[in-house]
Amino acid sequence: MKLDLKKLKLRKVNETLQSIDPKKNNKNYTILNPEGNHAICVGLTDDIDITIKGHVGYYCGGMNQNANITVEGNAGTGVAENMMSGKIHVKGNASQSAGATAHGGFLIIDGDASSRCGISMKGIDIVVKGSVGHMSAFMAQSGNLIVCGNAGEALGDSLYETDIYIRGKVKSLGADCIEKKMDNKHLKKLEKLLKKAKLEKLKTKDFKRYGSARKLYNFKIDNVSSY
Amino acid sequence: MCGIVGIYLKSKKFEKDLGKMLSGMLVNMESRGPDSAGFAIYKKEKKEEFKYSICINNLVFEKFKKDISKKIKYNSILKNSDHAILSSKENPNKVLSILNEIKEISLVGYGRSIEIFKQIGNPKDVVKKFNLEKFSGTHAIGHTRMATESAITTDGSHPYSTGSDECLVHNGSLSNHNNLRRDLIKRRINFKSENDTEVAAGYISNHLSNKKNLKETLESALSDLDGFYTFITGTKKGFAIVRDEIACKPAVISETKDYVAIASEFQAMAHLPSVNIANIFEPQPGIVYSWGN
């Protein structure tokens, strides 16, 4: 089924996708002329496949549950923000805060993601085939961030328990983020996620793992004079 | 929040369509700035002539024209809604001092090729009132404003111009503008408003008059201007964008063989020709991107 944003209002398109009739069994949708509009495909709950033909604006696929969304273009700020489950595949570049606060699901970005990719992520798996900008995985709590290119300044600042895997160079690490040993279980997990992103050709040993030093978790009485 | 847009033409193909292209961009950025809009457009210069962009406010045009003809020898004076473009071969310093003395008008810009129009109101109405679609030129910059730090007035609208053929639009806010303004006043830069962006425009004018080029000027602005900003700035032959190091304020660049378009969001340029095959990217924080010189 084709939904043309030049002919239909965004609210109508989102309402259609949010209230799929399971009896009709139409699982494939194409959105035409997105033209950088915001909030396309937010709040979806059904297991459906959607292809968006073009560039999208802010918060595409926000709060997604179960849906499989492909963006054939670039995505604006906050793609897949607060995603719960399902999959979002951006074939171009993503702007700031991709996958912000997302609890689950899978986000693949074929190009680069700019600053704050995976900010405060809470369980999502993110694979960026290109590079990520500054402050990526800031305050990230759980899930995995995999970057096949480079990472910008202050990677993983104030990090909790997200695992970060970077193949290229890291400009600098943020507070409390350190390089960690890659154990077998990490290699296996990375291999599985790379396979899921159809990146089997990449070697897991080329990646480095980063995580929390866990020194910001508790207040230290020795630092009391600094406050 | 504000919306900023700009187009720099790399070839002559779209010179006649420049106004139409920019108009669509401004209208699409209404959601980021519904209270005022403005644009600066660079046209081919005429020999020895300087153009002065004047907002005549509530004055009756014919009366203004009659009065000004007694003070300034001009080649033409063209009305466009509540603005007028005065062209003259007289010494710019003389013309500027005469125009600055007329309290009822606001001089919004001047130069060899620049024309500036800005006014309070919805971007859709502002571009219509000035008939932006009919404009041609080589490069253009525009702004839609959601006022945050000074009043909704013509003087509070962008673009700001504090020097010949210069203009600046800004999305963000500066925190050290009062100190900088005091310093720049000592260096004989004139300000017309309390607006932070006008200070940034003055900073750029001061550096350009000290023989720095646009790229060098913006590189030094990165260390001297404190606050959040994405700036698009134009000179007679140049066009540039810079974002502060934190880069909270968005920007997208689309580049084809014929043009460079910049906007706060992609939706502002979705209507541009061949945009779907353009090279689309976000300018990186703290890096100056410039075209021309």
A94-111 pLDDT, tens per residue? Answer: 999 999 999 999 999 999
Other CB atoms within a 10 A radius of the CB of residue B117 amount to: 28
The pLDDT of residue B293 is above 80: no
Which residues from chain B sit within 8 angstroms of residue A114, using beta carbons?
A: 247, 282, 284
Nearest to B2 by CA among B135, B141, B121, B169: B169
Confidence of residue B91 (pLDDT cuts 50, 70, 90): very high
Which residues from chain A sit within 8 angstroms of residue B269, using beta carbons?
A: 36
| CA–CA min distance A32, chain B (Å) | 13
Confidence of residue A223 (pLDDT cuts 50, 70, 90): confident
Residues A73-86: tens digit of each pLDDT? 999 999 999 999 99
Are A114 and B282 within 8 A, CB to CB? Answer: yes
What is the ipTM for the molecules in this complex? Answer: 0.90
The amino acid occupying position B182 is R
What pLDDT shows up at residue B212?
84
The percentage of chain A sitting over the pLDDT mark of 90, rounded to a whole number, equals 92
Which residues from chain B sit within 8 angstroms of residue A77, using beta carbons?
A: 250
What pLDDT shows up at residue B116?
98
**How far is it, in rounded angstroms, from Cα B187 to Cα B79?**
34
Selected residue with higher pLDDT from A22 and A143: A143
Which residues from chain B sit within 8 angstroms of residue A6, using beta carbons?
A: none
Minimum Cα–Cα distance from A92: chain B residue: B280
Domain residue spans in chain B? 2-42+123-292, 46-111
* 0.90 exceeded by pTM: yes
The radius of gyration computed from the CA coordinates of chain B, to the nearest angstrom, equals 18
Helix (H), strand (E), coil (C) string for B244-286: CCCCCCCCEEEECCCEEEEECCHHHHCCCCCHHHCEEECCCCC
What pLDDT shows up at residue B135?
97
Are A134 and B247 within 8 A, CB to CB? Answer: yes
**How far is it, in rounded angstroms, from Cα B151 to Cα B154?**
9
Nearest to B10 by CA among B237, B178, B177: B237
Q: Which structure tokens are listed for B227?
A: 């606050």
B174-to-B160, B161, B180, B186, B196 alpha-carbon distances in Å: 15, 17, 10, 20, 6
Rounded to the nearest 5 percent, the helix, strand and coil shares of chain A are: 15, 25, 60
- Mutation target to probe the A interface, by most A beta carbons within 10 A, among B29, B31, B267, B284 is B267
Annotated active-site residue B2? The verdict is yes
Q: b or e along A128-167 (b: 16 or more beta carbons within 10 Å of the residue's beta carbon)? A: bbbbbbbbbbbbbbebbbbbbbbbbbbbbbbbbebbbbbb
Which residues from chain B sit within 8 angstroms of residue A54, using beta carbons?
A: 276
B241-to-A200, B37, B215 alpha-carbon distances in Å: 39, 19, 9
The pLDDT of residue A227 is above 80: no
Other CB atoms within a 10 A radius of the CB of residue A98 amount to: 36
Q: Count chain A–chain B contacts defined by CB atoms under 8 A.
A: 45
Comparing CB atoms, the residue among B271, B281, B285 nearest residue A134 is B285
The amino acid occupying position B173 is S
Dump strand ranges (E) for A72-113: 87-90, 106-109
Confidence of residue B190 (pLDDT cuts 50, 70, 90): confident
Are A93 and B265 within 8 A, CB to CB? Answer: no
Are B270 and A77 within 8 A, CB to CB? Answer: no
Q: Confirm if B286 and B245 have CB atoms less than 8 A apart.
A: yes
| CA–CA min distance A186, chain B (Å) | 32
Minimum Cα–Cα distance from B272: chain A residue: A35
What pLDDT shows up at residue A222?
84
Taking residues B98-124, report their average pLDDT: 96
Angle between helix B177-186 and helix B196-209 axes, rounded to 10 deg: 40
Burial of B115 (0-12, 13-18, 19+ CB in 10 A): buried
The residue assigned the tokens 């090279």 is B279
Are B280 and A74 within 8 A, CB to CB? Answer: yes
The pLDDT of residue B149 is above 80: no
Confidence of residue A224 (pLDDT cuts 50, 70, 90): confident
Catalytic residue among B2, B55, B167, B248: B2
What pLDDT shows up at residue A55?
96
CATH code: domain B46-111 is 3.30.70
The percentage of chain A sitting over the pLDDT mark of 70, rounded to a whole number, equals 100
Distant-in-sequence, close-in-space partners of A185: CB < 8 Å, separation ≥ 6 = none
Lowest mean pLDDT among A47-51, B51-55, B147-151, B196-200: B147-151
Are A36 and B265 within 8 A, CB to CB? Answer: yes
Q: Which structure tokens are listed for B216?
A: 């060098």
Averaged confidence pLDDT in chain A: 96
The residue assigned the tokens 């009366």 is B63
Are B280 and A96 within 8 A, CB to CB? Answer: no
Which residues from chain B sit within 8 angstroms of residue A98, using beta carbons?
A: none
Are B281 and A93 within 8 A, CB to CB? Answer: yes
Q: Which structure tokens are listed for B7?
A: 């187009």
Give domain B2-42+123-292's CATH superfamily.
Answer: Aminohydrolase, N-terminal nucleophile (Ntn) domain (3.60.20.10)
Are B265 and A58 within 8 A, CB to CB? Answer: yes
**How far is it, in rounded angstroms, from Cα A42 to Cα A78?**
11
**How far is it, in rounded angstroms, from Cα B28 to Cα B158?**
17
DSSP structural state of residue A154? S
A interface toward B at CB cutoff 8 Å? 35-38, 54-55, 57-58, 73-74, 76-77, 92-93, 95-96, 114-115, 133-134
Residues A117-157: tens digit of each pLDDT? 999 999 999 999 999 999 999 999 999 999 999 999 999 99
Minimum Cα–Cα distance from A58: chain B residue: B265
Which residues from chain A sit within 8 angstroms of residue B247, using beta carbons?
A: 96, 114-115, 133-134
Residues B19-78: tens digit of each pLDDT? 999 999 999 999 999 999 999 999 999 888 999 999 999 999 999 999 999 999 999 999
* Helices and strands in chain A: count of H runs, count of E runs: 2, 11
Comparing CB atoms, the residue among B268, B276, B282 nearest residue A54 is B276
The residue assigned the tokens 């962006």 is B197
B interface toward A at CB cutoff 8 Å? 247, 250, 252, 265-271, 276, 280-282, 284-285
Minimum Cα–Cα distance from A97: chain B residue: B248
Taking residues B126-155, report their average pLDDT: 94
What pLDDT shows up at residue A221?
85
Q: Confirm if B35 and B293 have CB atoms less than 8 A apart.
A: no
What pLDDT shows up at residue B148?
83
Which residues from chain B sit within 8 angstroms of residue A76, using beta carbons?
A: 250, 265-266
